[in-house]
Amino acid sequence: MGTAPFQEGDHRVTLGRVLVIGLDGAAPGFVEYWAREGALPFLGDLARRGAFGTLRSTVPAYTPTAWTSIVTGVNPGSHGVFGFTRTDASGREAMVDSGTCRSKPVWEILSEQGIPSVVANVPITFPPRPFSGVLVSGMGTPPDSVRFAYPNEVQRLITNEFPGYVPDVAVPDRARASRRAALQILDDIERVTAMRLRLAERLMLTYPWRFGMLVLEAPDRVQHLWWKRIAPDAASSKEGEAVLDVYRRLDERLGRFVEVVESDGSLDVLIVSDHGFQALDWTLSLNNFLADAGLAVLSKGSLAARAARAAPDWMHAVARRVPRLRAIPSLSSRGGFDPDRTIAFTGSVFEQAVYIVPTGDAASYAVRRKSVEDALRALPGPDGRSRAVTRVWRREEIYRGPWTDEAPDLFPVFETSGVMIVPRTSTRRLWEPVHASHGTHHESGLVMAAGPHVAGGRRDGDAQDIAPTVLSLLGLPVPREMDGRPIAGIGPGTVALADVSLSRSDQDEGSGITPAEEEEIAARLQGLGYFE
């Protein structure tokens, strides 16, 4: 405690550097299986030398929310990123960006101590914010942006030495429509992954750093398309082999990359994922259920009401022409419902949650919430008889912090695995089986660690534990305000706490993303399967 908490203890000189490699969507069971089979020698060796376990994702187990908790060490109620979209001051939905995150990421905390970092391709870091180090932003960066790197000289370096570098791999619509088109995106993924690692290597050899971080999106992209082909018990298929090849090449490249940037024996390496994967078996049109239960009423003439009578293709065609609506993939958000007669609705597919329409007074809110909870508990399962919902979380049960009220109100948990809530009202059916090979996120992500300050063995943690683990590995105390704590066995063992403010002081509430850029980002998310 005191005014200069980071001066407490002087063990930082004895600890070296930390490298965090993010593998978006890497599932612990999958990696463990193929590492044991010998297909992933680098990851297998790392697991044998060090720690291996599951990293519990955030609710929802979605990329922006989970990576933001990983890098800030706090829960979504404290950082304010609940999905790909947020509601801006005027009530419209907009894409989240680096300004949406109200808590300092670990590299900004280190920067205050004069410790430099190299950060590459972490989601929701666009637009880059000044700090001591270099940063290349990742998912959520407008595809044609020429201001995605900090400082400017890094942007110039990328332009000059890495022509064709893209901040995100797009999975175009056609990839979901045809098998051949889908297999073609593997080339893109391969090329982009190779370039990302070359760029990260170039930056880490050029600029000083004690904290390095690189996120690779390849696992997530291919698993969305083909998870059902690559689970260890799946019959072998062209797609399954191709995906395993993506992992094999990734493993080989990571091995070389770590060897090059390691330079001496003082590097601790963490491999983390923001969530795991599972088969996508069912979509649930929850708004239909809410409408049937008398809890939601489509407004006459609203886009959603029109969409309810039209084919999904038509919905998308309209959505593509209306940027703001495209950021609301469901076309069924607030504007689609009659606000005077609607009590609850599901928002975008990013949230997997239910909103209660506020009334302004706490007593009637409580009544509304209770009636929606009761209705959800009675939701029939896909067989029409069983109860589908095992539990309904209230937001204050899963989030803590000043931004909790910005979250959706209720989060249903399902008996059946592989369920995705879709806001569409275009079909009268509640449950639709998903026959395609698609995967969806699972709450169990991956954590692995090896290095001079890592004890081996099974080590499980929480997304919000990674930032404090990094601080602890660097010999720094953990801010008391952080929700996470260093994962046992990764780091020095004794943890010092300090009073350090995590709030960003120069909070910019405005979006750094223009409407045109927003449209481009939304188009990319559609390819990932976040849109129906």
List binders of Zn ion among 38-67 (CB under 5 A).
Answer: 63
Residue 284 near residue 421, CB atoms below 8 Å:
yes
* Closer to Zn ion by Cβ: residue 220 or 465: 220
Separation between Cα atoms, residue 386 and residue 266, nearest integer Å: 55
Segment near Zn ion (CB under 5 A), from 22-30, 429-437, 448-456, 498-506? 22-30
> From the CB of 526, what's the least distance to Zn ion, in Å?
16
Q: Given candidates 22, 24, 69, 295, which one binds Zn ion under the rule CB under 5 A?
A: 24
Separation between Cα atoms, residue 199 and residue 136, nearest integer Å: 10
Q: Which DSSP category does 222 fall into?
A: H
Separation between Cα atoms, residue 10 and residue 516, nearest integer Å: 49
Strand, coil or helix: 228: helix
List binders of Zn ion among 323-382 (CB under 5 A).
Answer: none
Residues in the chain, overall count: 532
Residue 274 binds Zn ion, judged by CB under 5 A: yes
Which amino acid does the sequence have at 5?
P
If one counts every other C-beta atom within 10 angstroms of the C-beta of residue 299, the result is 17
Binding mask 171-210 for Zn ion (x = CB under 5 A): ----------------------------------------
Residue 511 near residue 97, CB atoms below 8 Å:
yes
Q: Residue 139 class from Cβ within 10 Å (0-12 exposed, 13-18 middle, 19+ buried)?
A: buried
Instruction: Give the dihedral of Cα atoms 450, 456, 462, 466; nearest 10 deg.
Output: -30
> From the CB of 25, what's the least distance to Zn ion, in Å?
5
Residues 6 or more apart whose CB falls under 8 angstroms from that of 203 comprise: 118, 120, 134, 136, 154
* Closer to Zn ion by Cβ: residue 345 or 530: 530
* Closer to Zn ion by Cβ: residue 96 or 476: 96
> From the CB of 7, what's the least distance to Zn ion, in Å?
37
> From the CB of 201, what's the least distance to Zn ion, in Å?
23
Segment near Zn ion (CB under 5 A), from 20-28, 136-144, 450-458, 472-480? 20-28
Strand, coil or helix: 389: strand
* Closer to Zn ion by Cβ: residue 273 or 332: 273
Strand, coil or helix: 196: helix
* Closer to Zn ion by Cβ: residue 270 or 343: 270
* Closer to Zn ion by Cβ: residue 63 or 346: 63
Segment near Zn ion (CB under 5 A), from 203-211, 271-279, 427-435, 501-509? 271-279
Residue 443 binds Zn ion, judged by CB under 5 A: no
* Closer to Zn ion by Cβ: residue 463 or 471: 463
Separation between Cα atoms, residue 139 and residue 258, nearest integer Å: 23
Q: Which DSSP category does 236 fall into?
A: P
Closest alpha carbon to 238 in 180, 188, 283: 180
> From the CB of 215, what's the least distance to Zn ion, in Å?
9
> From the CB of 529, what's the least distance to Zn ion, in Å?
12
> From the CB of 530, what's the least distance to Zn ion, in Å?
11
* Closer to Zn ion by Cβ: residue 75 or 273: 273
Which amino acid does the sequence have at 87?
T
* Closer to Zn ion by Cβ: residue 25 or 527: 25
> From the CB of 62, what's the least distance to Zn ion, in Å?
7
3-state secondary structure 268-332: EEEEECCCEEEECCEEECHHHHHHHCCCCCECCCCHHHHHHCCCHHHHHHHHHHCHHHHCCCCCC
> From the CB of 57, what's the least distance to Zn ion, in Å?
9
> From the CB of 144, what's the least distance to Zn ion, in Å?
23
Separation between Cα atoms, residue 189 and residue 191, nearest integer Å: 6
Residue 251 binds Zn ion, judged by CB under 5 A: no
> From the CB of 274, what's the least distance to Zn ion, in Å?
4
Residue 343 near residue 368, CB atoms below 8 Å:
yes
> From the CB of 219, what's the least distance to Zn ion, in Å?
9
Segment near Zn ion (CB under 5 A), from 48-56, 187-195, 212-220, 443-451? 212-220
Which amino acid does the sequence have at 131?
F
**In the chain, what's the furthest Cα-to-Cα distance?**
67
* Closer to Zn ion by Cβ: residue 24 or 93: 24
Q: Given candidates 201, 220, 409, 518, which one binds Zn ion under the rule CB under 5 A?
A: 220
Residue 97 binds Zn ion, judged by CB under 5 A: no
* Closer to Zn ion by Cβ: residue 67 or 431: 67
* Closer to Zn ion by Cβ: residue 25 or 128: 25
Separation between Cα atoms, residue 89 and residue 31, nearest integer Å: 42
Separation between Cα atoms, residue 117 and residue 218, nearest integer Å: 23
List binders of Zn ion among 132-161 (CB under 5 A).
Answer: none
Report the interface residues with Zn ion, using CB under 5 A: 24-25, 63, 220, 274
